[in-house]
Chains A and B, each alone.
Chain A
Amino acid sequence: MNHFLLAAALTLSAPAAMACETVAIGDLTVEHAWSKATIGAGRPGVFYVEITNTGSTDDALVGIATPAAGMPMLHETVVQDGIASMPHAMSIPVPAGQSVQLSPGGYHGMLMGLTTALKEGDSFPVTLTFEKAGEVTVNVDVLSLRAEGPDCADAGQ
């Protein structure tokens, strides 16, 4: 069933960019995975994605891994009393029946120790680890430095 969904999703989104792929694992769908071009490899890259939990059990994103970076971590941008800070997020809740976005100004993956600079038009895989659903790998599109998100026909952003 999962394979069928995956195949269907890949087929349907074939003409669009990879950021517009939808990958499913259990009750979770993972889509709109994107990143921004970096200036060199010395500064961290960023990872954004949208996760929807269509099931009736809460889950959580507990980690990310990628060959593109030696130290990928989950962070959250918090603006409190006019100060922005970026604490490490141990896990990102994906409650039953809800969607969670890793998006500019909120949760994001921080890709430290990049193996190479991320260039617009490149793509790289990121494996997401969920507390209950397990692991799933998505392809991440590198968009321009000034991009605000992938341009997908169905993207709600």
Chain B
Amino acid sequence: MRLRSLQIILWVAATAAVLAFAAVRWWPATDDTQAAASVFTPAFALADSEGRIRTTDEFRGKFLLVFFGFTSCPDVCPTTLSEVAQVMDDLGSDAGSVQPVFISIDPERDRRLGLADYTKAFHPAILGLAGSEAETQAAAASFKIFYEREADTASQDGYTMAHSPGLYLIGPDGAWLRQFTYGTPAAEILSDLQSRL
């Protein structure tokens, strides 16, 4: 009977040791793998409203808050840009550390309609960019986002755009930090930014 108790205790101890070893051996390894997979450096090289090419490199040292959209979008885009505008207002003296960027996924029409008029109506700090079709696709691919032109007779000019509606945060070193999904309140974005500044 005494021996049996000892056996049980030893087995429990052995099992615990194996589990502890496994935890120490593999958990950090798994974490490293995930971290490595999620670290990437999105890049864009796109024209601003005055035709100057703007690149991610020139914003090193600042946080970038990037949104892909189109100016004929009546519902999703104004809602998100209003949130961004609110965040910029509420950042106060820290606003200089954050550059909000609106990347047009409908660049030809948006250049024609006026990009700067649109972004400035929400907030003067928002930089509007509209490149060529190929440059826009390259930027979207580097941010790992999706957009597509959809034929739709019930939309202006016979088409509309489907797109990833998130807001993307890029760190001062250029690395992707996180996404704020569509509908994230301005206050939540603000407190996330303030925790990093």
Q: What residues make up the interface of A, taking CB atoms closer than 8 Å to B?
A: 36-37, 39-40, 42-46, 71, 73, 75, 77, 79, 82-88, 104-105, 108, 110-113, 145-146, 148
Is A36 touching B78 in the complex (CB atoms < 8 A)?
yes
Q: What residues make up the interface of B, taking CB atoms closer than 8 Å to A?
A: 71-76, 78-79, 82, 85-86, 113-114, 117-118, 121-122, 146, 150, 152, 154-156, 160, 162-166, 182-183
Is B114 touching A105 in the complex (CB atoms < 8 A)?
no
Contact A88/B154 with A36-B78, A39-B118, A146-B85 known, Cβ cut-off 8 Å: yes
Kindly state the separation between the CA atoms of A144 and B177 in the bound complex, as whole angstroms. Answer: 32
CB-defined contacts of A71 to chain B, threshold 8 Å: 156
Q: How many contacts A-B (CB < 8 Å)?
A: 86
Kindly state the separation between the CA atoms of A46 and B82 in the bound complex, as whole angstroms. Answer: 15
Is B154 touching A43 in the complex (CB atoms < 8 A)?
no
Is A146 touching B82 in the complex (CB atoms < 8 A)?
yes
Minimum-distance CB pairs A-B, first 3:
A88-B154, A85-B162, A84-B165
Contact A82/B164 with A43-B71, A148-B82 known, Cβ cut-off 8 Å: yes
Kindly state the separation between the CA atoms of A71 and B78 in the bound complex, as whole angstroms. Answer: 20
